[in-house]
Chains A and B, each alone.
Chain A
């Protein structure tokens, strides 16, 4: 795809011409993230997080591959090899802190990217496939992060693995055999650790594959933008390079500064002290908590405390998985033809309530499973489901949106002369 005014790649010399004829890889890159990709000119900084997420993925793969050279996935020695990395491997401490905190920052970036999608309704036609693939990436990232957290074989690794694989035992009749099959035993041990390591190494490359599809799907309709008005003419766009490479470069710098402050000065801030205690199946930690990026979903899991027809645990598991799977339905739940939350006053109010709600769930997920946190998380969980499945469809059909600008150019410059003169206004094909 592209807009008719997209710049075309022209090989600069004989060599690149030769390459272009045999394998047009430079042309591909030029059209994907170079001057050949016209992008709306009005993207704000919320549009930086896609590139940052890609950067985080590469960072995790690079540091992870090197860490895997020094790590041994064996329950007898895993904890010790992590300490070996921290003490004896050259720059091992830095690689490990970069990788452990890299996961946290990856999720931070993913969440901001997803919330951008919520507010600007990036999931709406014609971009449903980008959204669906994005949810797949998020689910894969969650699985990868969970298995990665098990690898150091500390107390939280072990008990986290036990609790999460224990969720499968909630499935009626076949739950327990499934759990034993998944773990390769009755409790997490060497078999579980080995397969988690294998999958933890594999899944990032699966994510990379889905990211390629995600970006491919993006290039068919082109990027969305803060007005939600589709691109109409050349004056609505700028080439990705140099405009957005420059903007993303600055965003990357800011991101790296915050990331490095944590890596070098507060490397254990986001971790749990119990994971510096070697796994001990005979001693249960006082509070078993996942990593911070799972808190909201952990709160939903624990909110179901009452056996209503089904066991409470099964309700919790169903609700936790549904809370993410329902994102797949968003393109069909939100029918409003207006994309951007800026022009949807009622939607905007509920979006802010959703943010507060998720912050509450986040807080409750990290708190001990006692009152009043459980009661608060129950209210917040109810709102979470009502928001997406009930409120959003109703809002989208009763709301009266504000008038939209004629074009991106008008939104940026205050007027679009071409609109008045009727020049060059053919829609994008």
Chain B
């Protein structure tokens, strides 16, 4: 009985889903396949030439690069993007001294309360403060940016596929749609109607190819590095991508180093466990003929 009922239930489910298949297949065969510019002309993110210092299982931060990245963020990105999960005190992890952090924090204005009147005021930052948002709230951010709220950057490299490479590719990837080609195919030939809407900017690394952010790093030397590194667009993009990798995962190097110690211990323990197991079983294992 149970088998008959089950078989019936099985046939019903299979029948209904196969019916759905027939319907779906008919539509699929009779309708034009989906053909869209963002599907066919989107580019996969790539990193800077030579990769990042923190790539791979033994990769480490390049502290000088992180400091350069902080400078790019401070002078360019921070005009629109917040960094709300990062505190000034965290900067001690990228090679700044306590005094330098204190001085850096003091250059930023953060929201506070006047101790005498209780009124909201802006005051100089302390090391315990977090990076302030450039806008008081989301409405102000949207109003100032053509309705596109600039996302917080703290976790950006973990919140996108190919994180660090994506940031680098996006920053260096702005191009002219009129001349853009992928795999030998020209965008304007395949999609003559393609148009970047006014107020948006063409970037093949962005999911739908049109991005609300104007090219932020336009010219070489836009930021003057303290360590004398030449500030090409590619260099600045790589540096800020590295800095944002640090803001997203400040424990990255610690994590990998801990991992090695753990794996060495586990390998040793597992080898011991293997020989212990062989020893225990040797008396009952059949002899190999």
Contact = CB atoms under 8 A, between A and B. Distances in A.
Interface of A: 41, 80, 83, 86-87, 93-94, 97, 238, 242-243, 246-247, 249-250, 252-254, 256-257, 260-261, 263-265, 267-268, 273-274, 276-278, 286, 303-306, 308, 312, 315, 318-319, 322, 326, 329, 332-333, 335, 370-372, 374-375, 378-379, 381-383, 385-386, 388-390, 393, 412-414
A145 B116 CA distance: 50
Interface string B113-146: 0000000000000000000000000000000000
A306 to B, nearest CB: 4
A264 B280 CA distance: 32
B102 to A, nearest CB: 19
Given A93-B254, A319-B17, A390-B7, 8 more contacts: A41-B284, A93-B251, A249-B276, A250-B274, A257-B267, A276-B248, A379-B21, A390-B10
Given A256-B266, A273-B161, A312-B20, A389 B6 contact: yes
Contacts of B251: 86-87, 93
A306 B23 contact: yes
A72 to B, nearest CB: 15
Interface in B45-94: 57, 85, 90
B178 interface: no
B25 interface: yes
Q: Which 4 A-B pairs have the closest CB atoms?
A: A264-B259, A389-B10, A253-B270, A306-B20
B10 A386 contact: yes
10 contacts: A86-B251, A243-B284, A249-B277, A256-B270, A264-B260, A264-B263, A306-B16, A332-B3, A372-B28, A378-B24
A303 B282 CA distance: 52
Given A256-B266, A378-B24, A379-B21, A246 B280 contact: yes
Contacts of A388: 6, 10
B160 A273 contact: yes
A274 B11 contact: no
A312 B207 CA distance: 31
A97 B251 CA distance: 12
B9 interface: yes
A375 B9 contact: no
B7 to A, nearest CB: 5
B135 to A, nearest CB: 16
A64 B85 CA distance: 23
Q: How extensive is the interface on chain B, given as a class?
A: 35 or more
A329 B3 CA distance: 9
B250 interface: yes
Contacts of B281: 243, 246-247
A83 B273 CA distance: 37
B207 A286 contact: yes
Nearest to A383: B14
Contacts of A412: 286
B219 interface: no
Contacts of B255: 93-94, 97, 264, 267
Contacts of B160: 273
A204 B25 CA distance: 43
Given A264-B262, A372-B28, A382 B18 contact: yes
B14 A393 contact: no
Contacts of B34: 370
B200 interface: no
A257 B6 contact: no
A371 B29 CA distance: 10
Given A87-B90, A246-B280, A264-B258, A315 B7 contact: no
Contacts, number: 170
B249 to A, nearest CB: 8
Contacts of A312: 20
Contacts of A41: 284
Contact of A257 (B16, B263, B279, B286): B263
Nearest to A305: B20
B2 interface: yes
B194 interface: no
A113 B136 CA distance: 53
A379 B7 CA distance: 18
Contact of A326 (B6, B249, B260): B6
B108 interface: no
A273 B17 contact: no
B3 A87 contact: no
B99 interface: no
Contacts of B25: 375
B13 interface: yes
A389 B266 CA distance: 44
A276 B276 contact: no
A322 B6 CA distance: 11
Contact of A389 (B9, B16, B270, B280): B9
A260 B266 contact: yes
Nearest to B18: A382
B155 interface: yes
A393 B28 CA distance: 35
Contact of B159 (A247, A250, A277, A329): A277
Given A83-B85, A273-B163, A308-B19, A371 B24 contact: yes
A46 B211 CA distance: 51
A286 B161 CA distance: 13
B154 interface: yes
B256 A265 contact: yes
A318 B155 CA distance: 38
Nearest to A155: B159
Contact of B266 (A257, A265, A303, A382): A257
Contacts of B284: 41, 238, 243
A250 B277 contact: yes
Contact of A390 (B11, B19, B274): B11
B13 A385 contact: yes
B177 to A, nearest CB: 21
A386 B14 contact: yes
A381 B267 CA distance: 41
